[in-house]
Structure 1
């Protein structure tokens, strides 16, 4: 299999070819390694060396032999160093065991070939850590691929991988999916296991999954890896039918709310993002859905205050725990300026501040749940802008305090964090395009545990507004 043949196929198609014996897993992985080596100099999306051979994986899983990579944050594999995008961890600390989701990725048959870049401790809507340098967007190498799963998104968009691990505490699956023209699903809280290291990452904001190029890959992978592990805090009802069947069946007529003003209290929304979202609304009406302007009532100021508390307390705990384990006193040579500022802010918080944030999160979640009694889905832009230039979200800017850094991030991403707070599923789809040819992400958010509904509508939109033929400038099979 040649790299350009490999790049034309999604994970579902590659798995089918391997199962049928038309190609071997080794041939697919050889094409993937050649593809990764071709785009890495331009993208800088892998950290550490590409693995000489894939990590052990099941040979009978639904994605047996399909190339894959894991993000350098939260999920980890036994023996593989993790850096979390930070100089604090140097060349990385080898992990003692698989996380539960990593074990499920292995059982699904995914062949992990490397580790993808993340911003320091994940708190950025871009991926340009001081530790390993900026990741470049394959659509335009001067632009950011988004964050915090920017390394994974860049490689999948460039077709060096069909699918890669990603996680999301404020939009970190959906933001890079939007910037790089991918499918990015943040599942419901509890749909994938955060264990054993975490019960509720980021006070419940964090969730693990992946970025893909096709809706069917997204659904099939969720079928393969979702589920409760002993000790997990949440036990969601099993889906009525497999997510892949929802994709094949398509959607029923739904009532959809259209909203193009950011839920976060910061930042204007680019008219191109508004226009793309409104165009999708018209397509949904043509598909038989009812679309009307509406939005849940969210107190933006209280929401931002509570979200800042969650993030800075998480960063303070992370920095202090790592520093204690490593026996270092972290300074500018270890941590970026905004990480230090956020950790400093987190250390000033009291227990009462965390409970106050929880009250805001509860009120927000109840308001959104009530709204979903009237509307099945909410349609919004994914980001305030199609993407950002590299350097715009400079996490080593020492002029910014914690609030200044928070405001800068969410001025570009004012739509995504709401579903992290509520735990609802949300998906970004590459349904718009700028004059430059950059993708524009459009987001659909569903009720809690409503992934099936989301994926069915996403599949219908993929057919109505196909994006597979729209490829970036830096892509496998094109001279680089």
Structure 2
């Protein structure tokens, strides 16, 4: 049974359940056995609720595209009454929600069997998952000396290790795409407001945050996005309507595209040789598929660094709001927060209302500049990260100078200069597992398209997956872990 479980993606497992060849209980047994065997080395899965999952199966699962498939929610967001959360923080340990989020309701209606949560850095801050509430870092199953990424680092590790075929994540600055790159997975960030955020939040981080998924196959990502697609009632933003579905886009060959290749940062500085190589290889692949590939022409006034300063101020204020809402006026025990979170609070205290609005204005202006850049091409191809996965501890959340942690020398922005760009602009972007370096660590390639072009991006990604499939490489890790 374990072999069947590990040899199939979520779509394949759902088909086996539908045909009666396997049962939801048997699949859940496999997932729990995998947690017991592998999670101690990874520290990726927390808040197990086997009883909730068994009761959902006994009550009769909805008939959906993933009926009977085991699933994990991120320990941040996806609010659900049956699934307490830490939000990655000792301050918020075992918090209980009084409502089910729209996202969770749609996931449940898809037939998924949620049975636990996956680790996150405190309140989603950072490209690594090393929050104190979990008693240690979350590690990369390809090599446990390295990080699985963040903030959906637990989801990335759990999926790459075969604990589940797919897991929930969220992305406010790359938090789906960073672990996708680090763990050799698919991570798709849709256009702003494509997915529901309510009822607990009207927007996250000034509209930059959105939910998503970590998967091993593109078809799982497409079907999961279809299952939750569409903003909830009263959402403050609304995306351009789609012409069809994500799954339909998989079967639609892309037209000949103008590809802008960028094997450097969007400021024109070099990246690690492994990351540049991954982009160059992808350019050759796209050229062989008939697309017109040219080096990107970066405008001198794009202003990525200025955008990241604004992004950091907005995130600091969002973090302060989250902490304040939990405290409810009671004094803060600073020892319950990681150093980076304490730094975010201090940073937020220096941001006035006018400063915040100025930061929002800079984000919006940057989005217009990025929209203009993408009129000169159909797709922008970069590395997902500027370096292969970082070693555990390299970005440990201890620095109490929040601006320095994010934008200083050796900081987060230097390591991850690409992903937050598209949270700021709202444009769709995907990290695909197209390269592994000599150390057998994954190196993701990042593709972004204009606002609203989710289907075109999915079509191109499907063409790439068919031409350069990654499943067998992923399965080598799953088999190695036993």
TM (norm. structure 2) is 0.94
Larger mean Cα displacement after TM superposition, 238-247 or 190-199: 238-247
Equivalence for 1:140: 143
By how many angstroms is 1:282 displaced?
Answer: 0.8
By how many angstroms is 1:360 displaced?
Answer: 1.3
Equivalence for 1:304: 308
2:323 is the alignment partner of 1:323: no
Q: 1:473 to 1:346 in 2, by over 3 A?
A: farther
More contact order relative to length (CA 8 Å, sep ≥ 6): 1
What is the CA deviation profile of residues 386-409 of structure 1, one whole-angstrom value per residue up to 9, with x for unaligned ones?
100000011024xx4111111211
Q: Secondary structure at the match of 1:374?
A: coil
> Which residue, out of 222, 240, 245, partners 2:248?
245
2:318 is the alignment partner of 1:314: yes
Equivalence for 2:401: 401
C-alpha separation between the residues in 2 aligned to 1:34 and 1:188?
36
Equivalence for 2:28: 29
C-alpha separation between the residues in 2 aligned to 1:46 and 1:428?
23
Larger mean Cα displacement after TM superposition, 18-27 or 204-213: 18-27
Q: 1:472 to 1:273 in 2, by over 3 A?
A: farther
C-alpha separation between the residues in 2 aligned to 1:478 and 1:17?
24
Q: 1:296 to 1:108 in 2, by over 3 A?
A: farther
Q: Secondary structure at the match of 1:220?
A: helix
2:431 is the alignment partner of 1:428: yes
Q: 1:353 to 1:296 in 2, by over 3 A?
A: farther
Q: Secondary structure at the match of 1:329?
A: coil
Contact 1:138/1:472 (8 A) holds in 2? no
Contact 1:268/1:411 (8 A) holds in 2? no
Equivalence for 1:411: 414
What is the CA deviation profile of residues 262-315 of structure 1, one whole-angstrom value per residue up to 9, with x for unaligned ones?
2379x8510110011111011001101111111553213321221111111111
C-alpha separation between the residues in 1 aligned to 2:403 and 2:279?
29
Equivalence for 1:10: 9
C-alpha separation between the residues in 2 aligned to 1:359 and 1:235?
19
Equivalence for 1:204: 207
Aligned-residue RMSD, C-alpha: 1.7
Equivalence for 1:120: 122
> Which residue, out of 436, 448, 452, partners 1:449?
452
Contact 1:70/1:76 (8 A) holds in 2? no
Equivalence for 2:358: 356
Equivalence for 1:56: 56
C-alpha separation between the residues in 2 aligned to 1:354 and 1:249?
42
C-alpha separation between the residues in 1 aligned to 2:324 and 2:267?
29
Q: Secondary structure at the match of 1:370?
A: helix
Q: Secondary structure at the match of 1:115?
A: strand
Larger mean Cα displacement after TM superposition, 274-283 or 238-247: 238-247
C-alpha separation between the residues in 2 aligned to 1:250 and 1:383?
28
C-alpha separation between the residues in 1 aligned to 2:426 and 2:169?
17
Kindly indicate which of the two structures has a greater share of residues assigned to helix: 2
C-alpha separation between the residues in 1 aligned to 2:298 and 2:171?
22
C-alpha separation between the residues in 2 aligned to 1:318 and 1:24?
40
C-alpha separation between the residues in 2 aligned to 1:56 and 1:454?
35
Q: 1:102 to 1:289 in 2, by over 3 A?
A: same
Larger mean Cα displacement after TM superposition, 440-449 or 75-84: 75-84
C-alpha separation between the residues in 2 aligned to 1:299 and 1:455?
28
By how many angstroms is 1:238 displaced?
Answer: 3.2
Gaps of 5+ in 1: none
What is the CA deviation profile of residues 182-236 of structure 1, one whole-angstrom value per residue up to 9, with x for unaligned ones?
0000111110011111112001110011111111111111111111211112232
C-alpha separation between the residues in 2 aligned to 1:104 and 1:96?
17
C-alpha separation between the residues in 1 aligned to 2:357 and 2:296?
30
Q: Secondary structure at the match of 2:105?
A: helix
By how many angstroms is 1:101 displaced?
Answer: 0.4
C-alpha separation between the residues in 1 aligned to 2:439 and 2:460?
28
By how many angstroms is 1:370 displaced?
Answer: 1.9
Matches within 5 A, 1:252-271: 252-263=255-266, 268-271=270-273
TM (norm. structure 1) is 0.95
Larger mean Cα displacement after TM superposition, 190-199 or 238-247: 238-247
By how many angstroms is 1:371 displaced?
Answer: 2.3
Gaps of 5+ in 2: none
